[in-house]
């Protein structure tokens, strides 16, 4: 019968690229690691690794076996971690990255509630409109919107979002008529991004799409600045509905041409790996997901 411990050792050898590297990770003598792989090969009746004094390489059978077993071993390790952590409580520091526009919105409320629920947890929150390098900066969880380009990260969707046209009631009361998308060209617009990339808005109404040329009054690379400029009555902006929901409900902002929207996407909790998440990070991500379900 195949010993699961021997399979796990084989996986570690492949991941580390050597017997000595696996021995260091596992905290075992190199001779023990080598013996367990040899025992596995003997039981299977096939050579998994080609050994030489300088190089360790997989045979075709070894490659196939590794691909089939590595995921299963990872799942077992994860299950072991979950059971071990089930008796623990969240504690320590969690580093959270988010865009500036979330500093006064739902994320602030949710983080404060989470900290009240778990008094042994401390939060370090990094707010920036520049995407943080999660690995380099030691970020545990990032809250991101729109397209996610890094496929090595794990993303849990919190909520759907879309861009909607907003302005302040004061601006609208003193501005030209705004009944169709053609009227937008006669209005001051607040644009997020660069002038070259955002000289027009792409709007959709069901299957109908329209490209709207803009006269940008403000061009800014900060969503937080754009929201504040909109609140101050400086024009019309195309903003994520999830970030302006509270302003719309309080009538500080007013949605215009509400049949049109743009940029359907989502807001995500992003973290580096499914494996070996601390109980604090796992609990926080689960908490965010539960909160988002009732929004």
* Closest residue by Cα to residue 10 from 77, 51, 70, 99: 70
Q: Which domains does the chain have, with CATH numbers?
A: 4-85 (1.10.10.10), 92-159+266-293 (3.40.190.10), 162-263 (3.40.190.290)
CA distance 291 to 267: 13
Q: Going by DSSP bridges, is the β-strand pair 121-127/216-220 parallel, antiparallel, or unpaired?
A: unpaired
Q: What is the mean pLDDT of residues 212-233?
A: 89
Mind listing the pLDDT tens digit for each residue in 101-135?
A: 776 678 888 999 999 999 999 999 988 877 667 77
Extract the tokens encoding 161: 């979002």
Mean of the per-residue pLDDT values for the chain? 84
What are the residues facing 270 on neighbouring strands? 142, 155
Q: Is the pTM of this model over 0.95?
A: no
As given in the structure block, the two tokens for residue 76 are: 């077992």
Counting Cα atoms < 13 Å in the Cβ hemisphere of 32 gives 12
Q: Is the pLDDT assigned to residue 151 strictly greater than 80?
A: no
């Amino acid at each position: 019968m195949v010993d699961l411990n021997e399979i796990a050792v084989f996986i570690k050898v492949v991941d580390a690229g050597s017997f000595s590297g696996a021995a260091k990770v596992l905290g075992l003598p190199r001779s023990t690691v080598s013996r367990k792989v040899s025992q596995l090969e003997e039981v299977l009746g096939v050579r998994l690794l080609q050994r030489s004094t300088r190089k360790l390489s997989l045979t075709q059978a070894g490659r196939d076996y590794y691909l089939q077993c590595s995921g299963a071993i990872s799942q077992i390790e994860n299950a072991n971690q979950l059971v071990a952590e089930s008796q623990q409580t969240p504690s320590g520091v969690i580093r959270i990255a988010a865009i500036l526009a979330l500093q006064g919105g739902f994320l602030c409320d949710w983080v404060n509630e989470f900290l009240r629920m778990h008094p042994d947890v401390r939060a370090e929150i990094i707010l920036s409109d520049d995407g943080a390098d999660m690995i380099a900066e030691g970020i545990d969880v990032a809250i991101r919107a729109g397209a996610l380009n890094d496929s090595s990260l794990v993303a849990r969707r919190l909520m759907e979002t879309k861009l909607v046209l907003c302005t302040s009631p004061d601006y609208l009361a003193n501005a030209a008529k705004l009944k169709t998308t053609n009227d937008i060209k006669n209005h001051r617009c607040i644009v997020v991004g660069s002038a070259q990339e955002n000289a027009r808005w792409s709007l959709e109404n069901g299957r109908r799409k329209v490209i709207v040329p803009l006269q940008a009054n403000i061009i800014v690379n900060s969503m937080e600045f754009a929201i504040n400029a909109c609140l101050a009555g400086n024009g019309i902006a195309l903003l994520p509905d999830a970030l302006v929901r509270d302003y719309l409900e309080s009538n500080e902002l007013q949605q215009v041409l509400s049949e049109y929207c743009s940029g359907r996407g989502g807001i995500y909790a992003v973290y580096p790996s499914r494996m070996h998440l601390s109980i604090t990070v796992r609990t926080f991500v689960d908490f965010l997901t539960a909160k988002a379900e009732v929004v």
